[in-house]
Structure formats: C-alpha cells, structure tokens
Structure 1
Amino acid sequence: MNWKQAPLGPVQTNAFVLYNEDGEAIIFDPGGDSEPFEAALKKENLKPLAILLTHAHFDHIGAVDHIRDVFNIPVYLHEREAHWLQDPTKNLSVNMSPEGVTARPAEHLINGEQSLAIGPFAFRVLETPGHSPGSVSYYHEPTDTVFSGDVLFQSGIGRTDLPDADEATLLNSIHQKLLELPEDTSVACGHGPVTTISAEMDGNPFLNGLGEGG
C-alpha cells in the first residue's frame, strides 16, 4: 500500500489518497478542485471505496459531493460535526459566498475511538479534538502513517482562534494520542509538508513551550 498527497481547493488543503496494488483507494479530505481531482484519480485507474473526513471545515469538504457521486462511495465523519457539512456557519464558509460551501450528510458517523475496516484497509480512529470538536486522526499501521487533518503540522499545530476550538484540548490530543504513536510514524497533515512524530517531538515549538497559540 502507498499514498499520495494532493493539495486542493482555495487554500491548498492536502487531500490524501491511500491505495493498494489493485487500485482500491481511500480518499481523505477532498477539499476542492473537484473535476481535476476526479480526472487524476481516473488517470491512475483508482477505485475509491470511501471518503474519510478528519473534520468538516470548508477547506476539507469542497469536493466531497462531486467525488462521492462520481464513484458512488460513502463519507465518514465524527458525529460531533454531523451537521457541519450542511451549515456554512459551522464549517466557516459563510463569508465566502452567498451559499457558502456545503455537502450532503455523511453516510457514516464515527462515535468514539474504534477500529475501522473498509475493504482491505484497516484504521485505528483516534479522537483528536481541539482544532474542532469532531476532529479525528486515522492511523494506518501498514504504511506507518497517521492522517491527522489540522491537528499537528510541521513545526506547528492547528488553529485554535476559531469558533468551537480550544488550545488546551488540542495540545492534550496531540500529547495523549499522536505522540503516543511510534516515532517513525508519518504525519499526513492537512496543510504543508508531511512530517513525522519524532521530528515534531524534537523540534515543534508549540509542543515544547516555545510557540504561541493560533
């Protein structure tokens, strides 16, 4: 199994595509550029099985309906953000355009930490709130990767100056959930370059008392 990173949408949010040798795939956070993203998936002869959302802010959901309709696949989202897909105020797109960014409800709601199996793919779902109340991270042991959305970045952490965000909660999520993963785990972030748990343990100023929240 392997994965690819695809910055999409108005703020170049990282979508990730995890796939196996048979072309079966899981899509994380398709944030926009619906038609080019569809074309790229088809060019690679990939067969998506599901969309997994780390959370429901607008920049992570812009291509959700297009991709799920084209490939006829379900969407997974934490239940704490069950209504955010339809609510431009909650997903923070209310000021972007008259209609904002919306998507239909998710077919599957995540409730609590759990193992999640979709076809040949198996994940450990970690609740990692703080940037948003329903933020989750998907740990994929076969590739030593955690798909973490906007929780932990290279030398940074997710914004906590947003509605429903809380810095203490976010830092607790990082320390209690992500930093407990093997140190060689790749962190597939929602923005910017991929990093590793060990690199952030050693050098992230926000985790060592040197950074400022935001």
Structure 2
Amino acid sequence: MNPTATPALIRETFPVGPLQCNCTIIGDPLTKKAIVVDPGGNPELIMARLEVHGLKVVSIIHTHAHLDHFLASGQMKELTGATLHLHKEDQFLWDNLEMQCGMFGVPYMPVPAPDQWLSDDQALDCGYGVALHTPGHTPGSMSFWFPQDKLLIAGDTLFKRGIGRTDLWGGDYATIERSIKQRLYCLDEDATVVTGHGADTRLGDEMRDNPFVRA
C-alpha cells in the first residue's frame, strides 16, 4: 500500500501519572493497531482511550527510562500483551526504578524488563514511524518520527521553548544540543512536536525561537 494514500493516524496525547508525563496513543485507522508511548501512570485511563478509538496495542515504546515515563508499563503489558521497548543505554535507569521512586517520593511498583531494545533509525510497528536516538537528557533518550503525518514525539529532549534537563543520571548538555540540532532540526519545519510534558509545539518555531538551542 502506498503510504501517501493512507488516512491520517489516530493520535491522542494526555498527561498521566504523578508527574504528569504526556502519554501518546498512535493508532492506524485501517489496521486498528496501536503504539502507546510513555505510559507513566493511569493505565485504566489509557485503556479507556484505546477502547474509544477501537485500537489494539502491539507495542509500548519509551522515550527514556525516567520513572514518570514508564511507571504503568508493566500494567499495560499485562492488560494488552504488548511488548515493551527501550534503548539499551537507559537500562540502568529502568533497573533502578525503585531508587528513582524513592528520590521523588512516588509509590514503587515493579516493572518487568524490556522485551526488545530500540535502535537508531528502527522502523516502528505502526504509522510508518521511525525511532531516532537523541541522547542528552538520558543516554538512551529516543524520539519518534512519523513523516507521513509530520508528527514528532520528542519526549523530554525538546519542549516548547525549552529542552530537557541534563543534571540527572547520564544527562549531558553538549549531547542534547547535538541531538536537537542534528537529529530533530533537520526534520520538517511544519511538524507538530509532542513534548514529554506540557503543550505541543511546532518544530520550525523551536528552530527559530527556542532560547536554549536554535537551528
């Protein structure tokens, strides 16, 4: 099938969990297959939204392994049977979820190990999407690019007029700056950017007006 002839993806983003991480559902309107990105809490809400759209989750993917982005991943896997995906360089954070929860005063719930490691330029299971390795906020930070829909899920790498903090485990300012300039700012300026927290933005606006990293 010619991807240019396909209808627009189903996309819904909403805040979940104790730190209000943005969880995003990406669904194929034809096959009804879906990806869930960063299920950081409220699995019952995520499942309810999937049901509204009539979608079946095939994979649960993570922009990175800070606690607020995967607290409900185990519950989502149990409810859907979908596989968990993460970049291997963030395994140390995933494995230290209990420590992270203790630091932020968040109740700890064990999460099983990822089923598969994400790699740079890897095709995703839905929407002709591709995974981009964009380290800096964490060593294994990923962004997810859906070119047909001009949609970029940037996690905590790029925010509306901001960038991800680099003072946590494995963060590095020079690395996040390079990721944004070389991996994100080369994409379509008209792309909608779904950030890890807060409002969407437009990629071209960040390229010109982001006070931290400009194109």
TM-score (ref. length: structure 2): 0.88
Give the corresponding residue for 2:55.
46
Supply the distance in 1 between the matched residues of 2:133 and 2:204 (Cα, whole angstroms).
Answer: 20
Structure 1 position 89, deviation (Å): 6.2
Q: Which residue of 1 aligns with 2:111?
A: 103
Residue of 88, 91, 100 corresponding to 1:82: 91
1:91-130 map, 5 Å? 92-97=100-105, 100-111=108-119, 113-118=120-125, 120-130=126-136
State which of 152, 157, 161 in structure 1 corresponds to 2:163.
Answer: 157
> Please, what is the CA RMSD of the aligned residues?
1.9
Distance verdict in 2 for CA 1:204–1:96, change over 3 Å: closer
For 1:4, give the aligned amino acid: E
Most deviating of 94-103 and 38-47: 94-103
Equivalent in 192, 195, 214 of residue 198 of structure 2: 192
Q: Report sequence identity in percent.
A: 32
Query: For residues 150-172 of structure 1, what are the alpha-carbon distances to aligned partners after superposition, in whole Å with 9 as ceiling and x for unaligned?
Result: 00000000011212111111111
In structure 1, list runs of 5 or more residues that go unmatched.
210-214
Say whether the 8 Å CA contact 1:93–1:100 is kept in structure 2. yes
Counterparts of 1:101 and 1:151, CA distance in 2 = 26
Counterpart CA distance in 2 for 1:98 and 1:15 is: 18
Q: Which residue of 1 aligns with 2:80?
A: 71
Distance 1:99 1:153 in 2: 27
- Answering whether residue 8 of structure 2 is matched by residue 5 of structure 1, we say no
Change (3 A) 1:24 1:163: same
Deviation at residue 148 of structure 1 after TM alignment: 1.2
| Structure 1 residue 147 displacement after superposition | 1.0
CA distance in 1, matches of 2:40, 2:141: 15
Equivalences, count: 206
The answer for the alignment partner of 1:26 in structure 2 is 35
Please say if residues 85 and 104 of structure 1, whose CA atoms lie closer than 8 Å, have aligned partners that are also in contact: no
| In structure 1, distance between residues paired with 2:40 and 2:149 | 23
Unaligned segments of structure 2, at least 5 residues: 1-8
Q: How much does 1:101 deviate?
A: 4.9
- TM-score of the superposed pair, with normalisation by structure 1: 0.89
CA distance in 2, matches of 1:103, 1:180: 35
Greater fraction helix: 2
